[in-house]
Structures are given as C-alpha cells and as structure tokens.
Amino acid sequence: MRSILIIEDDPLVRKTLASQLAKKGFEITVAETGESGVRAFGEAPPDLVLLDVRLPDIDGLEVLRRIKERNRRAVILIMTAFDDMKTTVEAIKLGAYEYLVKPLNMTELDLAIDKAFQMRALEEKVSYLVEEKKKEYTIDNIIGHSAGIRSVFKLIGSVANTRANILIQGESGTGKELVAKAIHYNSPYRDEPFIVINCSAIQDTLLESELFGHVKGAFTDAVSETKGKFEIAGKGTLFLDEVGDVSPNLQSKLLRVIESRDFMKVGGEKVLKTEARIIAATNQNLKALIDKGRFREDLFYRLKVVEITLPALRERREDIPDMVDYLLEKINRDLRRHVRKVPPEVMKTLIDLPWRGNVRELENALTRAVILAKGDVVLKENLPLEPDERKAFSDELVPLEEVEKKYIQHVLSAVRGSKTRASQILQISRPTLDKKIKEFGLDLGET
C-alpha cells in the first residue's frame, strides 16, 4: 500500500485530507507541526508528503529542506495560499515536486498524487538501471583465480577506499579499464562520475581543453566556455587512458594539477580546484619511455602512488576456461544466441592460443564463433587460428628435408590421411607421395 504523510496544522483540512485519502486506499500518517512532521518522515519514510507551507513552529520551506536532506528523492507536494507565489517558487527550487493552491480541489489533488507516483515509479526504474550498471563493475565480474589476478583483486580491495592516484599497466585488452571501474564503483565515491579520457586519441591542443576546459575565445573554435574533464569528474574518478601518449607540454601541466590540485581553463585566468581521483593506464613501458626522455619521471612517480600490473592472458592460461564460459554467457545474452558448448579439443585450442590481444581478442574470437555457429557448439574451424600456427617455417633454421617432412605431415593431417587429396594439393604423384610417407615414416591417422 502506498503511504502518505500529511503535515498540516489546520485540524479541519488535516482531517478531511486524511479521511479522503484513506478512502482511496492510501496509508495515512499525520503531523500537526513541522518538527513532528520531520520526525515522522525519519521514522517511517512515506512514499509521498503533503506539506503545508505555513506551520506554527518551523516554516514549511525549512521542513522541506530537512526532509530533502534525509532523502534527496522524497516526493513532496506542497500546499500554499493563493497569494504566496514567492514561497512556492522557493519550494520548487528546493525540490518540491508540485504545488497545490488552497482551498484544495480534490480532483486536482488526485491528479497530482497520481502523477507523482508515476514519476516515482519511473525514477525507481532508472535508479534500478543505474544500480544494475554498477553491478557490472563489481569484482565478481573480473574473472580469474590465478595468482596474478588474485593479487589484482587484493589491490583493488585495498585502494578502493583511498584517494590515492593509481597507475594501471598491462598489455592491450588485459582489463585495465575494467579494473579502473571496479575501483571506482567500490569506492565511497561510486555515485560521483567516472570520466574516461583517451589521451592518445586526441590531438594535443584539443586534449588540453578536454582536460581543463576553455574560456570563450581561447582559440578560433572556442565559441563558448566549456568545462574540462577535471571539473566534470567532481569528486569522482578521472581515468586517463593511454597516459604514455601525453605530450611533454601537457605532462608538465598534468604534474601541476596533481601536485597542487589546481588548474586553469585554456585561456582562462581563474584558478580552479579539482578533487578528482586520478587513475591512469598505459600499455606502454613507462620506464622505457622515461629512459628515452619521452615521459617525465616526476609525473610517473606522482601517478603511480599505487601500481597495478595486469598479467597477460597467456601468463594465466588457467583462467581461460572460466573466462570462456563467462564471455560466452555475455555474448549469448547480447546476441540472443545459445552457443554454449565447447568441446574439449576446442577448449584446448583456446587455452593454447597466444592471445596477444588478451581478453579483448578472446572476446572478439568467441563473438565471431558464436555468430558463425550453426548449432549450439563452438567450432574450431570458426576460431581465428593465429598466422603462427599456419606458418610454414619456425624461426630455427633447419635442413630442407625436415621442412618437407613436416609439411607433408601437415597436409596429410589436414586432409585426414586422404592420399589422393594430399597428392593433388602437393602436386606430386601418388607413388612419389607413397615413397615420401615411407621414407619419413609419416602418420596417416584415420582414413
């Protein structure tokens, strides 16, 4: 049952409202003063508050403010006198949902209550969706139990509650952004923004204005003043992706914000403060860049107050089976497919591939295999076997005979021992093929 709290000092109005609304099936609580209204709200938050703005003790606006302080989402309808527009405007500014002019018209009241509940349902849905989004970044969604990934979990847990700057290093596709989000959404600032800026995708001068904002007229295209990401991030997280690509000029500006917490917009003169936590990521070796004079050492130390290094997928192959299951679930859900079976030999291939693009590459490969699958099974033929696997030569230099032997064996296996097909492909006669098979002691497998 929906509940309504009526805060009204006039006994006649209070009683009429209470009985009318109770008849409509609402659960009613009443309060005669502002203080007792705020208390009643605190004890059992109702779905809606009907608030008179003229109360004997504290004024209605103050009641409104206190209720909103307790719960930003409280839905409050205020009741005002017809000549009191100033209070009304003030109340709406403070977050009242709607105002009703006294004497109350019951039809109007019904309509307003109806609308308020509809809006509330909508808001609940939105906040549910936001919560769902956050769930995507809980630690549960970082798959793996290898020693490498376990130490990452530990670090996430220990830094989430701090404001320390964090540097996440790891090859492309190892989950740097995923980890950054997990840190943010597990921190006390999870309701503040998580802002991503890719430092390599944006040209230097634009990047500066993206980071710090610009004032009107700062450069030719600056037609109006803008906020930079440092400002937009508020108390949230600013994720500086590919920080290794920041130019020397911007590196010194970044260093300055990190040290002093203040900055200026491009072309601006006012000093602004930032409270954002900075998480930087890179797939480059920053130490090597420092040695080449391309990255400032002082900035490096400022960024890596805490350092998290993500292992490459091939360094934690034991995680691949779980990862495959997890990714297949996700892909099937997204594509509305049901390709979930992975035969053992396909899993073995998946475990053995080099995955230079790490989890992202695995995800792409599985997506392709799901799309191409005819039934519910992931087929080996739909996996992108690395050129390495098909490469005719290894890096080691060997006699011609050895290459010949290996290659004939390779073709025989590929055609499952069919000598006719093999001789066609190799463009040698059957007797020559037979001779080579005997000479090299090749295996025909099943025919």
Residue 240 binding result from Mg ion, ligand ATP, none, given CB thresholds of 5 to 8 Å by partner type: none
**Does residue 174 bind ligand ATP (CB under 6 A)?**
yes
Which residues pair with residue 76 across a beta bridge? 49
Q: Which residue, chain included where needed, has tokens 């502002």?
A: 34
Read out DSSP for 67-111?
HHHH-TT--EEEEE-TT-HHHHHHHHHTT--EEEESSPPHHHHHH
Task: Choose between 171 and 177: whose C-beta lies nearer to Mg ion.
Answer: 177
Contact 261, 156 (CB under 8 A): no
Tally of CB atoms within 10 A around 383: 17
Determine the interface stretch with ligand ATP among 7-15, 172-180, 199-207, 347-355 (rule: CB under 6 A).
172-180
If one asks whether residue 184 binds ligand ATP (CB under 6 A), the answer comes out as no
Check: CB of residue 222 under 8 Å from CB of residue 273: no
| Start-to-end C-alpha separation, the chain | 73
175, interface contact from ligand ATP, Mg ion, none, CB < 5-8 Å by kind = ligand ATP
Site string (238-277) toward ligand ATP, x via CB under 6 A = ----------------------------------------
> Binding segment for Mg ion among 76-84, 175-183, 248-256, 395-403 (CB under 5 A)?
175-183
Q: Which is nearer to ligand ATP, 32 or 325 (CB)?
A: 325
DSSP assignment string, 250-283 = HHHHHHHHHHHSEE--BT--S-EE---EEEEEES
Q: Please, what is the minimum distance in Å from the beta carbon of residue 230 to ligand ATP?
A: 21
Question: Which residue has the CB atom at the shortest distance from Mg ion?
Answer: 177
Comparison of 9 and 315: residue with beta carbon closer to ligand ATP: 315
Dist. CA 243–CA 248, nearest whole Å = 11
Are 419 and 433 in contact, with CB atoms under 8 Å apart? yes
Q: Looking at 8, 177, 210, 363, which residue binds Mg ion (CB under 5 A)?
A: 177
Residue 370 C-beta: closest distance to Mg ion, Å: 23
By C-beta, is 202 or 379 nearer to Mg ion?
Answer: 202
- Does residue 178 bind ligand ATP (CB under 6 A)? yes
Under DSSP, is residue 406 helix (H, G, I), strand (E, B) or coil?
helix
Kindly tell me which of 197 and 411 has the beta carbon lying closer to Mg ion: 197
**Nearest residue to ligand ATP, by Cβ distance, number only:** 175
Return the residues of window 140-169 that contact ligand ATP according to CB under 6 A: 142-144
**What is residue 56's three-state secondary structure?**
coil
Minimum CB separation of residue 148 from ligand ATP in Å reads 10
Q: Provide CB contacts within 8 A for 336, sequence distance 6+.
A: none
DSSP state, 233? T
245 binds, among ligand ATP, Mg ion, none (CB under 5 to 8 A by kind): none
Nearer to ligand ATP, 339 or 359 (CB): 359
Per CB under 5 A, the segment of 159-167, 177-185, 305-313, 397-405 that binds Mg ion is: 177-185
Q: How many angstroms separate the Cα of 194 from the Cα of each of 181, 237, 277, 293? A: 7, 5, 10, 31
Q: Return the bridge partners of 237, or none.
A: 194, 277
C-alpha–C-alpha distance, residues 338 and 398, integer Å: 46
Kindly state whether residue 200 participates in binding ligand ATP, applying the rule CB under 6 A: no
Asked if 363 is part of the footprint of ligand ATP (rule: CB under 6 A), the reply reads: yes
Q: For residue 412, what are its two tokens? A: 């025989």
- Contacts with ligand ATP: how many residues (CB under 6 A)? 16
**102 interacts with ligand ATP by CB under 6 A:** no
Binding region for ligand ATP (CB under 6 A): 142-144, 170, 172-178, 283, 326, 359-360, 363
Binding region for Mg ion (CB under 5 A): 177
